[in-house]
Amino acid sequence: MSYIKNISDIIKDHTVVVEKGSGVLIQPMTNEYSYILTAKHNLQVVPSDAGSDLKKCDQIDLTTFNNESSDPNLTALAVYPHETLDIAIIRIDFYSDLSICTYQNNLLLDDELRLYGYPGNRIDRRKPTCDWISNYKLEVQDPAKDNVTFRNASVAPQEEIEGFSGGGLFYINDAQNKVFLAGIEYAMESGSELNERLAGIPIAAFEDIIKKYSIALLKPLHLSAFKHLKDTIFPQRYYEHLAEFKWEDFSHVIDILKRLANDSVNGISLSPEKILKENQHALRVKNQQLSTLENERLWSVILELIVMKSILDVDDLNELELTSDVNYLFNDFRFVYLDTDKGWEAHYEEIMTINTDTLNDDGKIILIVGGDRLTKAIISQEDIEEVIDNISNANSNEYIDNATRISDKKFPIIHWLSLHDECIFQKRASYSEWKSARHSVKNLEVLKQHYEPYLNK
């Protein structure tokens, strides 16, 4: 099983030294280059002079957290400063394995964040960069639009704060073990307050820079094209509940599905970003943040469905390739993605109050929720009717009508993880005799036989 990094290690891997300050590595929606977000004054010839010129790219010193790596130093290719705020974007060559996304909610009073950076009193060129880094817990004191003030409960002396400028303000979701970049710290509000209050600029302000210079958006890379999702479909967590000695019974089937996606994914004409923009009605659930729909898991599942539908909809499996037009999916399927480890019962209200106006009469609801499997891939009508009774006792007529429509039209609610469990992992014996590479089509025939009753009827 692969090692999962803890949140602190992930943040450190994204935190870099920018001159005498700090910065954050982040991947925009392109695979041509990456960004470092930082404070603009770190890049000025005279940092204390707001009107000072910026240094040339070859004069900017950029060092990663681990300077013992094979390539610890980064090269600035271009600098994009904000016109009025103390922030800037540095463009560098594409830097792989960047996983932190931006925090798209508004910061609220008393929100807690972590500030990571490189205080000047710890910088010692005789020691590795990983020994320089430090962090503080901050609390939002004044959530203004372009300038957020934070209370630093540590009340650290000035020499322990200098050097943090440009450091990331990270929002940590402990329940989901995820971290997001919420902004950049740029100043101590007042030395007279013993640095109890620090100032930062929210991540949304960087959009001004992106618009001015027409550079890549601060959105996950996988939204730019399905090709960035081909290695994420059918992940190990789908079948890690099985004993290892049984993996060989079905692992060749997963390999076939991944090869199919890998060989054909470039032919999908629409990007996830464009699909999301045009089909929010077929993706969003009640009170859901739009940023949740950018998550990799949702789009990996959509790619899995594209692969499975390509198998089901072709007559000759010897000439199989992925469909290039995926718009039809949103007439035939309604996706419900909930970023939670809890079961569907804990979120029955969100599930049963979705809008199904554009769903065909024989449409299906794909449920992507939780990490556990159900007994059956399709939620029973009895369970659905019980949920509708619960909603009727607690909600308005609008929600009752939506839930009743789902029940009356008998839209099947398919639990995606349980579907794979039922069609592949519980039926691994039906694939085990076709392990040879020359039997790829036979495996596809078996897949078609198992999935067709759920996805095509």
Using alpha carbons, select from 282, 280, 279, 264 the residue that is nearest to residue 225.
Answer: 264
What is residue 35's predicted lDDT score, i.e. its pLDDT? 98
233 and 307 Cβ atoms separated by less than 8 Å: yes
pLDDT tens-place values along the chain, 457 residues long: 345 679 999 999 999 999 999 999 999 999 999 999 999 999 999 988 888 999 999 999 999 998 666 678 899 999 999 999 999 999 999 998 899 999 988 899 999 999 999 988 788 888 889 999 999 999 999 998 889 999 887 766 666 778 899 999 999 988 777 899 999 999 876 554 456 788 999 999 999 999 999 999 999 999 999 999 999 999 988 888 887 767 888 889 999 999 999 988 988 888 999 999 998 888 988 878 888 899 999 999 999 999 999 899 888 888 777 776 787 888 899 999 998 888 888 888 788 778 888 888 889 999 999 888 888 999 887 777 776 666 655 555 555 566 666 655 578 999 999 999 999 999 888 988 888 777 889 999 999 999 999 998 7
What is residue 155's predicted lDDT score, i.e. its pLDDT? 61
What is residue 301's predicted lDDT score, i.e. its pLDDT? 96
Q: What is the CATH T-level fold of the domain 7-213, as seen in this structure?
A: Thrombin, subunit H (2.40.10)
What is residue 432's predicted lDDT score, i.e. its pLDDT? 83
What is residue 295's predicted lDDT score, i.e. its pLDDT? 92
Cβ neighbors of 73 (< 8 A, separation 6 or more) are: 61, 62, 63, 64, 67
What is residue 391's predicted lDDT score, i.e. its pLDDT? 62
Query: What is this structure's pTM?
Result: 0.85
Cβ neighbors of 383 (< 8 A, separation 6 or more) are: none
- In a 13 Å sphere around the CA of 254, the CA atoms on its Cβ side amount to 19
Q: Which amino acid is at 282?
A: A
412 and 229 Cβ atoms separated by less than 8 Å: no
Q: Which amino acid is at 35?
A: Y
φ, ψ at 234 (rounded to 5°): 50, 60
- The domain locations on the chain are 7-213, 222-455
Token output for 154? 């540590």
What is residue 429's predicted lDDT score, i.e. its pLDDT? 86
Token output for 311? 């198998």
What is residue 2's predicted lDDT score, i.e. its pLDDT? 46
